[in-house]
Amino acid sequence: MTSSATRTSFRVGFETLAQERQDVELAWRGRPPPWLNGRLFRTGPARFEVGKDAYRHWFDGLAMLHKFELRDGAVRYSNRFLHSQAFLASVKAGHIARDEFGTACRRTFWSRLSGAASTEMTDNGSVNIISYGPGDLVALTETPHPVRFDPRTLEADGEFKWTDDIGSQLTTAHPLWDAERRLIYNFETAFGRRNLYRFTSVAAGSRTRRLVAEIETDQPVWIHSFGMSARYLILAEFPLVVLPLRLLFSGGAFIDNLRWRPERGVKFTIVDKESGDIVRRAETDPCFGFHLVNAFEEDGDLALDLVAYSDAAIVASLSLDRLRRAGVKAMGRLARFRIPLNPGAVTRTILSEAPLEMPRFDERRAGRAYRFVWGAGQAGEDFMDRVTKCDLQTGEAAHWSEAGAYPGEPVFVAAPDGRGEDDGVVLTVVLDANEGRSFLAVLDAATLQEQARAYAPHIIPFGFHGNFFAGAAEAPSAGF
Q: Say how far apart CA 139 and CA 62 lie, in whole Å.
A: 12
Secondary structure (3-state) at 477: helix
Q: Which amino acid is at 43?
A: T
CB atoms within 10 A of CB 349: 12
Pairing of strands 332-340, 347-360: antiparallel
Nearest residue to 296 via CA among 308, 287, 288, 304: 304
User: 291: annotated binding-site residue?
Assistant: yes
Give bridge partners of residue 272 from the DSSP assignment.
Answer: 232
Burial environment of residue 338 by CB neighbours within 10 A (0 to 12, 13 to 18, 19 or more): middle
User: 224: annotated binding-site residue?
Assistant: yes
The CB-side HSE value for 197 (13 A sphere, CA atoms) comes to 26
User: 145: annotated binding-site residue?
Assistant: no
DSSP codes, 296-357: EEETTEEEEEEEEBSSSHHHHHTBHHHHHHH-----EEEEEEEEESSS---EEEEEEEEEEE
Check residue 51 and give left, alpha or beta (phi > 0: left; psi -120 to 50: alpha): left
The CB-side HSE value for 287 (13 A sphere, CA atoms) comes to 24
Q: Say how far apart CA 457 and CA 283 lie, in whole Å.
A: 49
- Tell me the backbone φ, ψ of residue 34, rounded to 5 degrees: -65, -20
User: 174: annotated binding-site residue?
Assistant: yes
Q: Say how far apart CA 308 and CA 78 lie, in whole Å.
A: 35
Residue 264 DSSP code? G
Please give the radius of gyration of the chain, using alpha carbons only, rounded to the nearest integer: 21
Cβ atoms of 473 and 39 within 8 Å: the answer is: yes
Nearest residue to 75 via CA among 122, 115, 37: 37
CB contact set of 79 (below 8 Å; sequence gap of 6+)? 17, 19, 20, 21, 46, 64, 65, 66, 67, 154, 460
Q: Say how far apart CA 281 and CA 479 lie, in whole Å.
A: 31
- Annotated binding site: which residue ranges? 174, 224, 291, 465
- Annotated binding site for Fe cation: which residue ranges? 174, 224, 291, 465
